[in-house]
Structure 1
Amino acid sequence: MKKKLQILIPILICFFVGFIGSCFQADAISNWYPYLNKPDLTPPNVVFPVAWSVLYVLMGISIGLIMNSNSRKKKYFVKIFLLQLFLNFTWSISFFYFQSPIAGLVNIVLLEIVIIYYALSVYPIRRLSTLLFVPYVLWVSFASYLNFYILLYN
């Protein structure tokens, strides 16, 4: 039971952080974001909550597997995971709440660095934890492109 909770709790934390972040962006998604120049590759708004739901599950499983490991460094990896989750949360505030593509870009670049570091660092402990982070790394890379485009053309 403890092992299942060590996977379920991080998933729920990811969803909670995502929900709180969405509260900060709701107004801007209605009143600011639709009027920005965006690249042709920008997905419809309905894609974002679906993608993030999948990513939160994968992220939670990733850290849960690390927490269930015998590694002496698992507390360190939890701290790295929490740092990336904090940066994920603050991106919504930087980009949407403050309506600042430059602050968002700085934030998302830091996020990308931390999630790549996490993914590479946990590989020797649990390869599956790294593989579960690959979609997240790819999504944040794509989001970085969107953020950069918006910065350049608005």
Structure 2
Amino acid sequence: MELLKVNGKMDTKSLAKHVLVPIIGGSVTGWLANRHAQEKYQKLKKPSFSPPSAVFPIAWTTLYGLMGLAKYRVSKQQEGKRKKEISIYELQLGLNFLWSFLFFRWELRGTALVEMTVLLGAIALTAYDFFQVDRAAGTLMIPYIGWVIFALSLNYATWKLNE
């Protein structure tokens, strides 16, 4: 419960907003990007380490919640100031949402791979900057980095298997 408090206080409304924005945004993006694309995706050759489809919404919902919590913690530490940490966070979130369209909707798997490489850099920079403001916030971004490294290898392998 201490993780939800910043400077000894919890702002429930702000916390909910910060956590729900990436979760809802990711859900809507996933629905829009994957609508009518799953049949094609199921027909693709996938690497042996590709997890079952049911893993992805669970993983992404968890990761979106963690990144929202991290942003909440940083925004509370910087209340009244607009810092670059938040802009970089928003950039990586936008890149995250874009990837689904590139990979699923538009079937630009090579482009998605390049974009995800940029995304990984933006996430790492966000985590570093968050860590400078709030150690817990930076630490909350680490599972996201790990998952995107895994997703990057999955994107690459799927792209190569289906060229």
Asked if Structure 1 and Structure 2 have the same fold, meaning a TM-score greater than 0.5 normalized by the shorter chain, the answer is yes
**Identity across aligned pairs (percent)?**
31
Code of the residue aligned with 2:148 in structure 1: it is V
Pick aligned residue for 1:128 from 120, 126, 136: 136
RMSD: 1.7
Question: 1:71, CA displacement in angstroms?
Answer: 7.3
Q: In 2, Cα distance between the equivalents of 1:5 and 1:112?
A: 30
- Aligned partner of 1:15 in structure 2 is 23
Cα deviation for residue 100 of structure 1 reads 1.3
- 5 Å-filtered alignment, 1:104-115, equals 104-115=112-123
| Residue type of the alignment partner of 1:6 | S
1:65 aligns with 2:73: yes
Q: TM-score, normalised by structure 2?
A: 0.87
Letter paired with 2:17 = I
> Are the equivalent residues in 2 in contact too, given 1:6–1:67 (CA < 8 A)?
no
Residue pair 2:132, 2:138 contacting (<8 A) in 1 also:
no
8 Å Cα contact 2:22/2:64 also seen in 1: yes
SS in 1 for 2:45: coil
Letter paired with 1:24: A
Q: Which of 73, 85, 95 does residue 103 from structure 2 map onto?
A: 95
Where 1:37 maps in the other structure, the secondary structure is coil
Show structure 1 runs of 4+ deviating over 4 A: 71-74
Q: Secondary structure at the match of 2:83?
A: helix
**Alpha-carbon distance, 1:26 to partner:** 2.5
Structure 1 residue 6, shift from structure 2 partner: 2.5
| 1:128–1:143 CA distance, 2 compared to 1 (3 A) | same
Q: Residue deviations 1:24-80, cap 9 Å, x none? A: 212111x21111111111110000001111111101000000000047865321111
Of residues 49, 52, 61, the one that matches 1:44 is: 52
Where in structure 2 are there 5+ consecutive unaligned residues? 1-8
Distance in 1, matches of 2:82 and 2:158, equals: 37
Q: How far did 1:116 drift?
A: 0.4
2:9 matches 1:27: no
For residue 132 of structure 1, what is the amino acid of its counterpart? L
8 Å CA contact 1:94–1:101 kept in 2: the answer is: yes
